[in-house]
Structure 1
Amino acid sequence: MKIGIIGAGAIGSLFGGLLAENGNDVWLYNRRKEHVQVLKEKGLTIVSAEGRRTIPVKATTKPQDMGILDLAVILVKFPDTEKALEDVAGNLGRDTLVMTLQNGLGNVEKIMKKVERHRVIAGVTSHGSTLLAPGEIYHAGKGPTYLGALEETSVSRVQEVVDLFNRSGIDTKLSDNIIKMLWKKLVANVGINPLTALTGLPNGKLLFYPELADIMRGAVEETVRVAEAKGIDLELEDPFAYVASVCRATAENKSSMLQDVLNRRPTEIDAINGAVVREAEKLSEEVPFNRVLTNLVKVLERRYLEGSCSSSI
């Protein structure tokens, strides 16, 4: 199976490296030339609590180098999904599976505008990764990955991918309700990502501050309430305890949103807390914690992207 990692940043490089390390035919595609150059010349260096290792990988900034893929794993940021699909349109054959392991809500819908529903795989992962330097990542946290088909007829093909991931040392399970898993991951993201982005703290340090824990609890409880109103039972006895456990399991990780802020890139706030706000509005629900967090991150993002503090009021 020829695999293309579309968006080989921190988490994309991690998955691409783990798959390549176990003998799979994998390409890492990224538009950042410096990162790709190091990957091509020196390989991918993965730093973790267990030590440091370097894995030879194939990497490119040119989609045409990859040829037709059997599996395209979309791991770009939410704002870049449409552009990434345009970039790799020539790599998607009639039978190519397209998988998203991206954060938040809305990516599946974007992909289905370009790819038939039966070829789309939705997924979530608990792995945490930080880009330390071009060609070098820190594997900050491990956990299960869940993949699910959007149509019953595609389950057997998704199972093939699950099996391939497991053979590559990536703990992966087939989910029969991947929408629930997307919302469960969202519950963790709404409580962790914006607070790390606004404070600069790694995941585990959020729990050291009662004030942040209160905000986290509010955003999490609102998200669960919206999910329940949509008929999605997340089966979380204590949602805040669940998110706190994620913080501890990925204590040293800098969330993807914090990494975006530190690198002055657009964030995925619209796919995370912003998505909760949009879904709540459809249901005439109030979600003040998520709305405020969305607005604060948007202001922070706008300041460094636009370089201006001029008033629009």
Structure 2
Amino acid sequence: MKLAIIGAGALGSVIGFHLAASNNVILIDLWQEHINAINTHGLCCVADDSEQIRFLPATTDPALVEPVPVALITVKAAQTSWAATVAAQILQPDGVAYTLQNGLGNAELLAHRLGAQRVGQGVTTLGATMVAPGRVRLAGRGTTTFSATPSLSTAYAIADAFRVCSLPASVSTDLVGLVWSKLIVNVGINALTAILRVPNGALATIPEASKLVRCAVEEAVTVAQAAGITIGLADPVAETLAVAQATAANRSSMLQDILRGAPTEIETINGAIVREGQRLGVPTPFNAFLCDLITALEATAPLRVS
């Protein structure tokens, strides 16, 4: 399969590294130092106690990319507009962009630029950490699920490509439930790991932290129920903790953002729960508090004590 990955951060690089084993993959990102390192020394992926280097093309200039039938969008929410512009440049006329981003609203933004018939939704529980330019870590081999729309054949082709490269993948017809299930897991993990400065596994093994996960997740589930959404989680709290345990060594994307003083995706994750709660008349005080804490961490980054 020929495809482009728009957003070569931790997640995009880990996916690109694996898919490049048996596919024609190109990485597109704005981080010049990372792109230069990949083109010069290859992309190094650390997994368990071993590491491997794989050479694949990477660029900051979408004008250099030949048209592709599939693009995977793995940028942070703040870069979705840029990713939509890049996808419009590099996709074939009937090509499809699948977003694997966190939170709500990204697919809608992409569809506004590309058209709904060219945008698919995906969710992943892969754990990925950026170690250094040109070097990433696979911190959890979670499942990636692709929506059956807008193209069932394309969804199965991508899922097959993932599985061939040892990345668990599947296809689902429940788009809304898919997105909300991932959102609820992120609500329980991302902000708390960033605030507590711990890897994902700490949330599952330390009772005091697990209690906070329950507070965040149960609020989100109440909002989903009020919205009439059926989520694909039999026990949302237990399954969120299971994801945290399965990706125990991973530093969540929000923790990585906070550690380097970068903007987070709090508004599309916990913030999305707060906004939906306000719309539906459902109180979400705990998630609102998490949003306030993360926003304060962002604002005080230059003054932080080491």
Partner deviation per Cα, 1:283-311 (whole Å, 9 max, x = no partner): 1110111110011101111222xx479xx
1:118 aligns with 2:137: no
Alpha-carbon distance in 1 for matches of 2:164, 2:66: 24
TM-score in terms of structure 1 length: 0.93
For structure 1, the 5+ residue unaligned runs are: none
Give the corresponding residue for 1:259.
Answer: 256
Give the corresponding residue for 2:12.
Answer: 12
1:143 aligns with 2:170: no
**Contact 1:117–1:150 at 8 Å: present in 2 too?**
no
Deviation at 1:255, TM superposition (A): 0.3
Matched to 2:122, the amino acid is G
Matched to 1:3, the amino acid is L
Matched to 2:162, the amino acid is F
Secondary structure of 2:283's counterpart equals coil
Secondary structure of 2:3's counterpart equals strand
Deviation at 1:170, TM superposition (A): 2.2
Query: Aligned ranges for residues 53-64 of structure 1 at < 5 Å?
Result: 53-64=52-63
How many residues are aligned here? Answer: 304
Distance 1:238 1:89, change over 3 A: closer
Distance 1:126 1:235, change over 3 A: closer
Give the corresponding residue for 2:240.
Answer: 243
Give the corresponding residue for 2:80.
Answer: 81
For structure 2, the 5+ residue unaligned runs are: none
Alpha-carbon distance in 1 for matches of 2:140, 2:50: 14
**Contact 2:87–2:97 at 8 Å: present in 1 too?**
no
TM-score in terms of structure 2 length: 0.95
Secondary structure of 2:146's counterpart equals strand
Distance 1:67 1:175, change over 3 A: same
Deviation at 1:90, TM superposition (A): 1.8
Q: Percent identity?
A: 41
**Contact 2:10–2:128 at 8 Å: present in 1 too?**
yes
Deviation at 1:235, TM superposition (A): 4.3
Deviation at 1:279, TM superposition (A): 1.0
Distance 1:72 1:244, change over 3 A: same
Partner deviation per Cα, 1:112-158 (whole Å, 9 max, x = no partner): 1111212111001111010111111110001211000344xx22232
Alpha-carbon distance in 2 for matches of 1:236, 1:29: 34
Alpha-carbon distance in 2 for matches of 1:184, 1:261: 24
**Contact 2:149–2:173 at 8 Å: present in 1 too?**
no
Query: Pick from 154, 159, 164: which aligns with 1:157?
Result: 154
Give the corresponding residue for 2:98.
Answer: 99
Deviates more, 1:239-248 or 1:163-172: 163-172
